[in-house]
Chain A
Amino acid sequence: MKKYTIIIFLVILSLISFGSFFVFAVDSSPEAVLTPSQSTEEDKDIQELKERVANKVAEIRKKDQKALSGYANVKDGKISLKDTEDMEYTVTIDESLSKVYRISGSTKKEIKPSDIKTDTYMIVTGPVVDKSVSANFIFVDDVYIVQSGKVMEINKEDYYIKIMSQDKEEYILDIETSTKQNMLNMKTLEIEKSGFSKIKEGDTAHFTAINSKTEKNSSNRFTAQKILVIPQEYFMK
C-alpha cells in the first residue's frame, strides 16, 4: 500500500510540474495569461506605439528630405544636372506634375521647363533613383560663392583686392558702391561698418559674391556682395 501511495504522489507531482513547464515553455508571451480587459488595454498600447513609430518615421523622412543642385545641361530636349561634386543626374520632368520656378530675391515666379537652358543653375526636389531624379519642383536660382582668405594685394586705383583662400585658390574681388563692407571690432567682437581704405594686406577677408558664369567670373573675378574683414592684429593678441 505504501508503494502505491508513493507512486500516486510522484505521478501527481510530475503531472503538475511538467504540465506547467510545457505551458510556459511553449508560450511565454504575456497574452497567454491576460484577461480580456487587460488584453484590450494592451491592444490600445500597441496601437499607440504603432502610431508613434509611424509619426516618427514620417518626421524623419521629412527631416531627411534633400535636394539636388547644380548646373543644367540641355541636350535634345533632355535635361541633366551636374552637382558640385561632378555627379550627373538625369532630370525627368512630368509636364502635368512638375513645377518650375525662377527665384528672384524673396519671391518666385513660375516658368516653363523650356526656359531651362544649359548652364542654368537649378535646385531639384523629388525622388532620386540611381542617377535619375523625377522632379517634383525645380527652382532656378543664383549661385553664391561664400569664401574667405588672406588679403594678398589691394589695388586702390581700380578698387579690387586679391584674396588667397585656404585651398590656395586666388580670387579677385571688385569692391563696388553696392558692396557691404564690414570689419570686426577686436574689443567688442561686434561687426561694424567699414571702408575700402581700412583693408590692409595680411588681413583675413570673408566674402559673398554671385557667380553668374560670365567671362569675368571664369577668371575667378567677382563683384563682392558683402565683405567682412578680420584685422590681422586680432590674431596677434
Chain B
Amino acid sequence: MKKETVFAIFLGIGLGVVVSFVMIVKSKDRTLNKSKPLTNEKKTTVAVTESVSQIQTFKITQPQDRQIFNTKTVVIKGTSENESLIVVQSPAKDMVYQTKDDNFSIEMPLVLGENVISLTQYSKNSQGRSQQKQLRIYYLDEQ
C-alpha cells in the first residue's frame, strides 16, 4: 500500500470520529431540550401567587369540601385580607383570629361525624360587612 493511501485512510477515520463525536453531543443536547419536566410546580406557584396578589379575596385553600379525615384535628389554610378578623365556628369550637398577613392557618378540633365549619372574614374598616365560607368535612374513624 502506498504512503498516501494509508494517510488518507487514517485521515478519513480521524475526521469520521470527530464528526461522530460532534453528532453525539448535538443529539444529546437536542434530547435534553425536548424533554419536559415531570412536574409543572414552578409554573403553578407563579400562577397562584399572581392570582392571589391580583384578587386579594377570602379563600379557603385546604381542606376540600366533603373531605374525610381520620384525625381529630384539621388545619384550615387560606388567604384573606391583611389585619382582618376571622371568626371560625363549628360544633366543636369557636375561634377568633386576626390575620397578620395575606395567609392564615388555623387548627380546628373535629367531632365524630359531620363537621360544618363556618369561616367569616371581617376586613379592617369593613363596618360589619363580612365574607363567609362554609366547609362540610367528616371525621370518620372507620375510614
Residues of A whose CB lies within 8 Å of any CB of B are: 1-2, 4-6, 8-13, 15-17, 19-21, 24-25, 28, 63-69, 84, 99, 101, 103, 105-108, 123, 125, 137, 139, 141-148, 150, 166, 182, 184, 189-191, 204, 206-208, 225-226, 228, 230, 232, 234-236
Contact = CB atoms under 8 A, between A and B. Distances in A.
A69 B142 contact: no
Interface stretch (B16-24, B44-52, B53-61, B73-81): B16-24
B8 A6 contact: yes
A206 B117 CA distance: 12
A191 B96 contact: yes
A9 B12 contact: yes
20 contacts: A2-B4, A8-B8, A9-B8, A10-B12, A13-B15, A13-B16, A13-B19, A64-B64, A66-B66, A125-B68, A125-B143, A137-B140, A137-B142, A139-B140, A143-B114, A146-B89, A148-B118, A166-B132, A189-B98, A234-B85
Contact of B130 (A1, A15, A166): A166
A63 B142 CA distance: 15
Interface string B1-27: 010110111011101110110011001
Nearest to B66: A66
The majority secondary structure among interface residues of chain B is mixed
Contacts, number: 159
Among A25, A206, A228, the most chain B Cβ lie within 10 Å of the Cβ of A206
Contact of A189 (B5, B8, B85, B142): B85
Interface residues of B, number: 52
The majority secondary structure among interface residues of chain A is mixed
Nearest to A99: B142
Contacts of B143: 65, 125, 137
A42 to B, nearest CB: 16
Contacts of A5: 2, 4-5, 7-8
A189 B97 CA distance: 8
B112 interface: yes
B127 A16 contact: no
Interface in B86-109: 87, 89-91, 94-96, 98
A204 B11 contact: no
B24 A16 contact: no
A204 B128 contact: yes
A226 B23 contact: no
B90 to A, nearest CB: 7
The 3 closest A-B pairs by CB, nearest first: A16-B16, A12-B12, A20-B20
B126 A191 contact: no
Interface string B122-139: 100011101010101010
Nearest to B128: A235
